[in-house]
Amino acid sequence: MPYLFTSESVSEGHPDKIADQISDTLLDNFLAFDKESKVACETLVTTGQVVLAGEVRSNTYLDVQQIARDVINDIGYTKGIYQFSGDSCGVISLIHEQSPDINQGVDRKEKKEQGAGDQGMMFGYATKETENYMPLALDISHRMLIELAKLRRKGKEINYLRPDSKSQVTIEYSDDNTPQRIVAIVLSTQHDDFDKDDEKMLKKIKEDIISILIPLVKKQLPKYVQELFNDDIIYHINPTGKFVIGGPHGDAGLTGRKIIVDTYGGKGAHGGGAFSGKDPSKVDRSAAYASRHIAKNLVAAGVADEILVQVSYAIGVAEPTSIAVDTYNSSNVEMSNGEIAEKVKEIFDMRPAAIEERLKLRNPIYRETAAYGHMGKTPRTVTKIFESPYSGKITKEVELFTWEKLDYVDKIKEAFNL
């Protein structure tokens, strides 16, 4: 019997995502000036106020207040009418030094024996249903908001958009887990109060989303996904009514509160640990990236059509306590899940220091992860400039989204005789 599956996304202007982007930009700046920095930075945003908290051990000093303001302005909160802007909000820093009790469990004289920064389990997932090996409903949800943000910044086709928005896509699947059609699309976008007649204003917003945004998204997608769009899609556009009050003035935002948006949209599994604001010694982040890297390369190599990889750690211990694989009965090799997991252990060194080195994680690469998902994006090399009133100006060439590279496909094919 056919079934429905839904995933959601939120925009860069969503309060929780503002918090994530501030935390990750602080992390990037610490790593740019001291790559061995240990950072666990949390952010709270609310009406006219930003609170920075957490633990840092670093040889550099930053103007964290100005960094937070710059992020807020970059996102688009630049007008007093939003009741939250980078130039006028208060910024309180409660950041202090990392606990020596935690640090003693992580640092080692021999770098390769670096212990895990915390206990816990992390998951990586990949599926063949999209070209980027991501769940389709989540992929479309992200694309909708990325395009909506582009329209907002251009201010031409749609000139009333504000930064806060959310999307949601529901897809019908057949018994063999093949997408059949898009059933429903939900999109709520913050907007200017551009018409005294609310009904007329909401009608205009709905028409613009369906006639301008959706075609832009559809055009990006491969033909087999375009065919899932149909005349029977149920559209819920700003279903609660007008959405003028939004962003941190409408709802407080916190770092790490959108972990399903950040990963696989409800597909696979999640260990519960957030990513943003954490340096790669925290396996919540680095091992989740490594697990995605493994899952994606396994699927791309043809081991299975869908794969979930789980890894777990004890704080202060280098070797994982477990590595597990679930192929959801989609395996293309005559091996059990346990046997596949044993092969994974042979191919991938999952000690924290090895993950950091393999994926080049001690670089300032994290601001770009903090909106529209940490997984499924295209690896690329960029040049980034960082400035500090205390440490001067520095230019870094860094590789983004290394965990999305298909650089282990040949090794996997050889190991599995594919």
- Residue numbers in the known binding site are 14, 16, 42, 55, 98, 164-166, 242-243, 251, 257-258, 274, 278, 282
Binding-site sequence positions for Mg(2+): 16
Q: Is 279 helix (H, G, I), strand (E, B) or coil?
A: coil
Phi and psi angles of residue 68, each rounded to the nearest 5 degrees, phi first: -60, -45
Look up 275 and say whether it is catalytic: no
Exactly one of 20, 42, 262, 368 is catalytic; name it: 42
Instruction: Return the structure tokens found at 103.
Output: 């640090």
- Nearest by Cα to 217 from 148, 144, 154: 144
Look up 396 and say whether it is catalytic: no
The Cα–Cα gap between 53 and 41 comes to 6
The Cα–Cα gap between 303 and 57 comes to 42
The Cα–Cα gap between 167 and 189 comes to 9
Kindly state the greatest CA–CA separation across the chain. Answer: 68
Exactly one of 69, 142, 162, 278 is catalytic; name it: 278
Exactly one of 12, 16, 147, 306 is catalytic; name it: 16
Look up 232 and say whether it is catalytic: no
Binding-site sequence positions for ATP: 14, 164-166, 242-243, 251, 257-258, 274, 278
Whether 270 and 259 have beta carbons less than 8 Å apart is answered as: yes
Exactly one of 38, 162, 258, 296 is catalytic; name it: 258
Exactly one of 63, 74, 107, 251 is catalytic; name it: 251
Look up 257 and say whether it is catalytic: yes
Exactly one of 252, 300, 314, 354 is catalytic; name it: 252
DSSP states along 325-379? EE-TT-B-SS--HHHHHHHHHHH---SHHHHHHHTT-SSS--GGGSSS-SSSPPP
Binding-site sequence positions for K(+): 42
Look up 42 and say whether it is catalytic: yes
Exactly one of 17, 285, 358, 367 is catalytic; name it: 17
Exactly one of 20, 147, 284, 356 is catalytic; name it: 284
Binding-site sequence positions for L-methionine: 55, 98, 251, 282
Look up 401 and say whether it is catalytic: no
Exactly one of 166, 292, 296, 367 is catalytic; name it: 166
Exactly one of 5, 123, 243, 401 is catalytic; name it: 243
Look up 84 and say whether it is catalytic: no
Look up 269 and say whether it is catalytic: no
The Cα–Cα gap between 216 and 221 comes to 9
Look up 278 and say whether it is catalytic: yes
- First-last CA distance in the chain: 33
Look up 14 and say whether it is catalytic: yes
Whether 296 and 126 have beta carbons less than 8 Å apart is answered as: yes
Exactly one of 34, 35, 53, 55 is catalytic; name it: 55
Catalytic residues: 14, 16-17, 42, 55, 166, 243, 251-252, 257-258, 278, 282, 284
